[in-house]
Amino acid sequence: MVVLGLIGCGVISDSYLTGAARSGLVRMKSVADIRPEAAAAQAAKYNVAAVSIDDLLADPDISIVINLTVPMAHADVDHRILAAGKHVYSEKPLAATFAEGQAVLADAAKRGLRVGCAPDTFMGAGHQACRHAIDSGRVGRIVNGVATVMSHGMEHWHPNPDFFFQPGGGPILDLGVYYVTNLVQLLGPVKTVTAIAGRGSETRTITSEPRAGEVIPVTVNTTVNGVLGFVSGAQIVLSTSWDVWKHRRLPFELYGSEGSLLVPDPNFFGGAPMISARDGEFEALDIAAHPFGVPNRALRDGREVADYRIIGLLDMACAIGAGRPHRASGELALHVLEVLEAFDRSSAEGRHIAMATTCTQPVPVPLGKSEEVFVG
């Protein structure tokens, strides 16, 4: 069994600690945080050890460390994990900047260690069913598409929303990352990005507890609209914003030469994709044959969703043992980070930005029922 450590015991650590406890492939041994009280609280809740970051990194049992710190700390913490001789699995984005992400991958390559990175939602049943529909030619060649992620921000629910409005945050890096990662798994790598970016306000007032009323600065763009040109020839419009109170746009539509595909929200693993043959009625695309689609978590608004965060790491753990590539890879995350950063660059420089990186389209997740699909 692969032994894990975790650094960064904030909001999202619950998903990983729950996911690790549910898995028969890994064992979470210890957790750490620059706030020792945060580590102690999660350790008590999930029956693991709370240790210092140095002790976690020095533990010879631990082979993979999960980095769930805030985006601006991702690269620093990754370098420390790699220097300790351990593989890294990071929350998204890979780093706050493309240059930092490149340095992390170079460090890992030099040491012969792996980097894995969220999001792994594209490995869920809803998105794998769409991949299968595209690969089997049901909608023909994807020519066009629209993806949208818009709301009024994060300061109404997250207890410490500052990082969302600092470099490494903003809707394009924080949420666009799910859409672009899923687009790359569905369509392959991106060739060019063209965009306009701006912001609705220079400050935000926190309305969540415990800091309700506190005003925080906004130092990143919060409305970013652009067009991705794929190597395949597909053109996809991506709209991301935290300046929108209400809208009626679907998360994700792809238009092919033989039909259309309604892709579920790539923030989650399941969903209800739909497909049309040419201009026929939309029909449900069956996701039941694919693993990681059954709802297992209730959201704040009561909706039941599939949350299997950690399957990218489980795949990486099995891939290390088998000597095969893993799907939620550093290479994929770095390409996606270059794409995301290109939205701001395109806007600032007033031109199309050509990508310097590319990546291999991750291979589809095999059909099956559980994490055992990664073992075989």
Ligand X SMILES: NC(=O)c1ccc[n+]([C@@H]2O[C@H](COP(=O)([O-])OP(=O)(O)OC[C@H]3O[C@@H](n4cnc5c(N)ncnc54)[C@H](O)[C@@H]3O)[C@@H](O)[C@H]2O)c1
Q: Which residues bind ligand X (CB under 6 A)?
A: 7-12, 33-35, 38, 53, 68-71, 73, 77, 91-92, 160, 174
Q: Closest CB to ligand X among 36 and 364? A: 36
From the CB of 339, what's the least distance to ligand X, in Å?
17
C-beta closer to ligand X: residue 176 or 293: 176
Using Cβ positions, the residue closest to ligand X within the complex turns out to be: 10
Separation of alpha carbons 150 and 155, rounded Å: 14
Nearer to ligand X, 77 or 195 (CB): 77
Between CA 243 and CA 46 the distance in angstroms is 37
In the bound state with ligand X, the residue whose beta carbon lies nearer, of 53 and 65, is 53
The residue to which tokens 């746009």 are assigned: 249
Q: How far is the CB of 184 from ligand X (least distance, A)?
A: 18
Spatial separation of the C-alpha atoms in residues 218 and 161, rounded to whole Å:
11
Q: Rounded to the nearest whole angstrom, what is the least distance from the CB of residue 344 to ligand X in the complex?
A: 17
| Residues belonging to the chain | 376
In whole angstroms, how close is the CB of 340 to ligand X at the nearest point?
12
Nearer to ligand X among residue 254 and residue 328 (C-beta):
328
* Rg of the chain, C-alpha, whole Å: 20
Answer yes or no: are the C-beta atoms of 154 and 204 closer than 8 Å. no
Burial zone of 235 (CB within 10 Å; 0-12 exposed, 13-18 middle, 19+ buried): middle
CB atoms within 10 A of CB 154: 21
Min dist. Cβ of residue 38 to ligand X (A): 4
Q: How far apart are CB 305 and ligand X at their closest, in Å?
A: 12
Q: How far is CA 230 from the centre of its chain?
A: 19
Instruction: Name which of 53 and 262 has its Cβ closer to ligand X.
Output: 53
Token representation of residue 98: 């493309």
Runs of H (alpha helix) within the chain: 13-22, 36-46, 53-58, 71-83, 98-111, 125-135, 170-174, 176-187, 311-322, 330-349
Indicate the residue among 159 and 233 with the shorter CB distance to ligand X.
159
Least gap, CB of 161 to ligand X (angstroms): 9
Tokens at 272, concatenated = 């209800």
- Residue 76 CB, shortest distance to ligand X, in Å, is 6
Rounded Cα–Cα distance for residues 259 and 123 (Å): 23
Which region holds residue 172: left if phi is over 0, alpha if psi is between -120 and 50, else beta?
alpha
Provide the residue type at 110 as one letter.
K
Nearer to ligand X, 34 or 305 (CB): 34
